[in-house]
Structure 1
Amino acid sequence: MIEHLDLSSVVAEQPDPLLFATVSGAHLYGFPSRDSDVDLRGVHLLPVEALIGLREAEETRSRMWVRDGVEMDLVTHDLRKFVRLMLRRNGYVLEQLLSPLVVHTSGLHAELAALAPDVVTTHHAHHYRGFACTQWRLFEKNDELKALLYTFRALLTGIHLMRSGEVVAHLPTLCGTVGEAPAYLGELIAAKAEAEHAPAAGTDPERLRADVEALHRTLDEARDASALPDAVTGAYDALHDLVVRARLGQHVQG
């Protein structure tokens, strides 16, 4: 799907250094379609003068364009904003940070990834429940496989995270590790590969609803039984020090 694209050139085009860039979205989740766009996510490092002057700093940059016939979607956050998102129980940024589909990396990327387990709490269950609810409502509106698979992916990621403390976003992997995953998900993944906006043809709406509701209950149970902490403790100081070191230029290059 993405092998023919020169994604490294995207890194070189950015106005400020990227500490990392990874592939997210359907490619990370394990159900890309032939016509899926490529979602690139990462962290840029603004110079000190961009943060202390009068102009508004570009803490988030977003760009969409077409390259070699493929739609590209790039979103990066400045390091400080990204770390703040990490501390706000945001599972999405952890998935970006820990994505195995790495376009660009650095020493700071490795440091951030090493600290990721220390920011995971039981409250991340709320993130995945909320994302699943949003996608389910979208599925009820458009009847597309994409939204349905996003719903199941979010719930299974949350369940696995509560049980293991490990962020896994790849749906085929989750189907093999979370015992409650519906057996028909493999067929839905295969159908989604044919087209990005494929309809959920042949699915039983009542069965889908029952299975989604059951996974919500499983997520609640996994959260209640989880060994994860209720709040972030030691990671805050380590992340603060990392941001300061990076901004002062002590450890930017990999």
Structure 2
Amino acid sequence: MTTHSITDLPDLTHIVAEQPDPLLFATVSGAHLYGFPSRDSDVDLRGVHVLPLHDVLGLTPAQETRSRMWDAAGLEMDLVTHDLAKFARLLLRPNGYVLEQLLSPLVVHTTPEHAALVDLAPRLLTAHHVRHYRGFAKTQWRLFERTGELKPLLYTFRVLLTGIHLLRSHEVQADLPTLLDNVPAPDYVGDLITAKAAAEHGHLATLDGAPAHQHITTDIEALHATLTEAEQSTTLPTATDATPDLNDLLIQTRLRTADL
């Protein structure tokens, strides 16, 4: 099954250059990262910016998160960046979203600080990341049951398999086609990926030979049980030891960029 790469997307470097503060990195997330983009999928660009020193030292709260959605020559763009301090706090929460953004292979912009964050990532992984993936799976499953759309159904499978793989292998893998090669899953998931490629908001009910709802429900429940088993047997630590190094990286980056 095809895995997408950054070369499948238009040149996004000009967007990085347009940002008001320097970016430490920018990567593509969303359906392109997860391995099931549609022809009409938007591009989710995620990154980390560094606020000027005077913005974080003053009395006025700084804008730690910036978000923007717009149409770029017919391509819907969704850009979200966090200041490094907020991103670091999210990494320590723990938060699977930001780990996947940090480690996305679809890199639009990188720096030595990005590389330093990537080097710290293995030490940021904990057994508690299962909460993120279990909770996200339940949210997407409820959305699927309400709408019948393929997108939330594929998200449900994706996050469950990512969580299982993380707990077993200590590796963050967000690409669903790759996960299907590493974690046992129903055979029909590949067909769902192919079907979604034709339409971002396609419905399961429109597919010929689609599995019955009860069949899918049973498969999802089995994956939840597998996730729980992986949680009980994982050798991931319950806490990270990378906090001091992450703090040092934040301080050093603030000081280095103070005069830029």
Matched, 1:206 2:214: yes
Gaps of 5+ in 2: none
Normalising by structure 2, we get a TM-score of 0.94
**Larger displacement relative to structure 2 (18-27 or 195-204):** 195-204
Matched, 1:220 2:228: yes
Q: What is the deviation of 1:251?
A: 10
Matched, 1:241 2:245: no
For the residues of structure 2 that align with 1:175 and 1:83, how far apart are their CA atoms?
Answer: 31
2:154 corresponds, among 142, 149, 153, to 149
3-state SS in 2 of match to 1:248: helix
> What is the root-mean-square deviation in Å for CA atoms of aligned residues?
1.6
Q: Deviations over 1:13-39 (max 9, x none)?
A: 000000000000000000000000000
State whether residues 52 and 257 of structure 2, in contact with CA within 8 Å, keep that contact through their aligned partners in structure 1. no
3-state SS in 2 of match to 1:129: helix
Counterpart in 1 of 2:111?
106
Distance 1:239 1:194, change over 3 A: same
For the residues of structure 2 that align with 1:167 and 1:249, how far apart are their CA atoms?
Answer: 30
1:90 corresponds, among 95, 99, 103, to 95
Gaps of 5+ in 1: none
Number of residue pairs matched by the alignment: 251
Q: What is the deviation of 1:56?
A: 2.1
Q: What is the deviation of 1:139?
A: 0.3
Matched, 1:119 2:129: no
3-state SS in 2 of match to 1:20: strand
State whether residues 127 and 238 of structure 2, in contact with CA within 8 Å, keep that contact through their aligned partners in structure 1. yes
Alignment of 1:1-254 (within 5 A): 3=8, 5-179=10-184, 181-201=185-205, 202-233=210-241, 235-249=242-256
State whether residues 37 and 73 of structure 1, in contact with CA within 8 Å, keep that contact through their aligned partners in structure 2. yes
Distance 1:10 1:250, change over 3 A: closer
Q: Return the letter of the residue paired with 1:246.
A: T
State whether residues 91 and 98 of structure 2, in contact with CA within 8 Å, keep that contact through their aligned partners in structure 1. yes
Q: Return the letter of the residue paired with 1:200.
A: L
Distance 1:137 1:13, change over 3 A: same
State whether residues 5 and 68 of structure 1, in contact with CA within 8 Å, keep that contact through their aligned partners in structure 2. no
State whether residues 23 and 47 of structure 2, in contact with CA within 8 Å, keep that contact through their aligned partners in structure 1. yes
Normalising by structure 1, we get a TM-score of 0.96
